[in-house]
Amino acid sequence: MALALSIMNAETTTIGIDLGTTNSVVATVHHGVPTIIPSRTGARLTPSVVAVAANGKKLVGSIARRQGIINPEQTIYSAKRLIGRRFSSKEVTEASRHLPYRVECGLHDDVRLRLGGSSVAVPEISAMILQELRLDAEAWLGRPVERAVITVPAYFNDAQRQATKDAGVIAGLEVMRIINEPTAAALAFGHGRAHSGKIAVFDLGGGTFDISVLQLKRGVYEVLATSGDTFLGGEDFDNRLIEWLLQGFEADYGADLRKEKMAMQRLRDGAEKAKHELSSAREARIELPFLYTLPTGGAALHLQRTLTRETFRELTQDLVERTIRTTAAVLAEAKISPKEIGEVVLVGGQTRSPSVQEAVKRFFGREPSKAVHLDEVVALGAAIQADALASNKADTLLLDVTAQSLGIKVAGGFSNVIIPRNTTIPTSASHRFTTVRDNQPGARILVLQGDEKEASKNELLGDFQLMGLRRAPRGEVEIEVRFDISADGIVWVSAQDVETGQEQSIQVEPSGGMTREELEVVSAQHRDDLRPVDPAAAEQRARLPKLLEEAERLLPALRPTLLETTFGADALAKAERAIAHGREAARAADQVATTSSIHELERTLELFKVVQQRAAGTWRAG
């Protein structure tokens, strides 16, 4: 899922970004209406793909995706599934099983990717996509973009959120706020509606799954509970089809294609297209000619298979059931029955699957809402939030929750939860502990995030020490540990000796896998890649929509008068053509087309001026 945008003032612009696993989208609040902004090529969706061409040029978006089959090892997609993660070598092997590019472990077990002969941190890949989207926005707006609100899956942990922030910094953006994707979708769903009641946002995108339950009432969006799976999405459905095709091909020809990267990429492309077809058809035909050439004899082998909805359902039934189990758990945690949900909002491309829609309908006992666009709703919600922050609007109140529990490590290697997941933020909570050894001089506080009982299975967010405790038998000295979380999700942790009042505290600063020094170096490199906005081009870009709006306003009123003049139908056709060209130029954001359209519209408005004067009886021939 995508990118959204809103004007802050004449000097700076705040954008909201939903960086999707498969695609990204940009939107703006224009005259109070959230509106999708097309890319410079006119597309509403930008593939979240980065590549390096044979000549060393970096490619982003559609052009990177198109060359993926012939250059699979240098084409990176689905980077969002890896951002902010730390993997062992075994986990890396499993995570990259179907990926043509190389996935590696960094010095601190952070994930790195091989691109163009270099080892690249995952936030750098995401930054390239964000930078491309930023340039699209700047071309459309005609001025620099400096600040951003970014949406992430609700179940992202702090490391994944920080890595996403790092990507924004590398792309040259000040990241003002991170909000959850289901919450953004709810903002878009509720915008302009007098809707009150409980809604469920079922978000199954390309790489992640989230389910959130919210209470909507008079501009207040309160998240009651949320959960998800950051490794469950459309990619997993694709992988099941790929395995089915691989097994069928091996059964037919005795050839294993798993090490043939170009063939694997063609299989992925064929599987994805077939999956899309099944959203509207009962079966899909997969035909991949010359998929593999036998090493002995040089005979070319072709793949031809028919995939039915029934087969697809059987292959992916357990994945759908995983989403329903998580959904049931969230409603149980919120103490809400499915019948209490007034609307079910589907988000993400994988929810187009009939098997997913049927499962959701069975669980909630009602048809999901058709009121939002599956691919664009999160971007529109991000635009609304960006606009609210930029203009300090008070008509929308967003009350989000902590997606995962927060606590500390205690004796025995266990995790003691202090703030349970699904607690509304901002919030504060504290708990008292005692020493576990006689004459214990101090205590080390290890801050954890996660819901596992064993401390080692949770994410370590930070640690600090409280020293100078009174020498006493174990259990006598009490320490109060306090957690404070701001509305932005910033966590402060303090530990205080109850008897003496002595205190130590930290602000948790999670690592996204890159050190501060690495981030500064990479950010400087990417700043060199940014193209400055041409002031003259920016002025023209800002002028085009005004001329177009005026021409579109005058044309209907002047059409009858125009037809009565000696200019006749030919002049009317030219005026309509000029307006059509202006619309195309506004969508494409091409400078040549912009300049040409401005000239056409200026001549059209001069013509309209003459017609108005003639109708008023004030026109005189020169």
| Catalytic residue of the set 203, 229, 236, 400 | 203
Q: State yes or no: is 497 an active-site residue.
A: no
Q: Name, in order, each residue with C-beta under 8 angstroms of 535's C-beta and a sequence gap of 6 or more.
A: none
* Tokens read off for 45: 């969706």
Cβ–Cβ contacts within 10 Å for residue 450, how many?
20
Q: State yes or no: is 552 an active-site residue.
A: no
Can you spell out the DSSP letters for 86-145? B--HHHHHHHTTT-SS-EEE-TTSBEEEEETTEEEEHHHHHHHHHHHHHHHHHHHHTS--
Question: Phi then psi for 227, rounded to 5 degrees?
Answer: -160, 180
- What is the pairing mode between strands 23-24 and 46-47? antiparallel
Amino acid at 530: L
Q: How many residues make up the chain in this entry?
A: 622
| Catalytic residue of the set 132, 138, 181, 229 | 181
Question: Phi then psi for 244, rounded to 5 degrees?
Answer: -60, -40
Q: State yes or no: is 236 an active-site residue.
A: no
Pure H helices in 371-510: 377-391
Cβ–Cβ contacts within 10 Å for residue 235, how many?
23
Task: Count helices and strands (H / E) in the chain.
Answer: 14, 29
CA distance 16 to 5: 5
CA distance 549 to 77: 39
CA distance 378 to 211: 14
> Closest Cα to residue 378, out of 204, 189, 181, 148?
181
Cβ–Cβ contacts within 10 Å for residue 620, how many?
7
| Catalytic residue of the set 18, 272, 343, 387 | 18
6 three-class SS: strand
Q: State yes or no: is 438 an active-site residue.
A: no
* Tokens read off for 618: 């004030």
Q: Is 91 exposed, middle or buried (0-12, 13-18, 19+ CB in 10 A)?
A: middle
CA distance 41 to 132: 12
- Report CA 245 to chain centroid distance, whole Å: 30
Q: Is 280 exposed, middle or buried (0-12, 13-18, 19+ CB in 10 A)?
A: exposed
User: Known catalytic residues?
Assistant: 18, 80, 181, 203
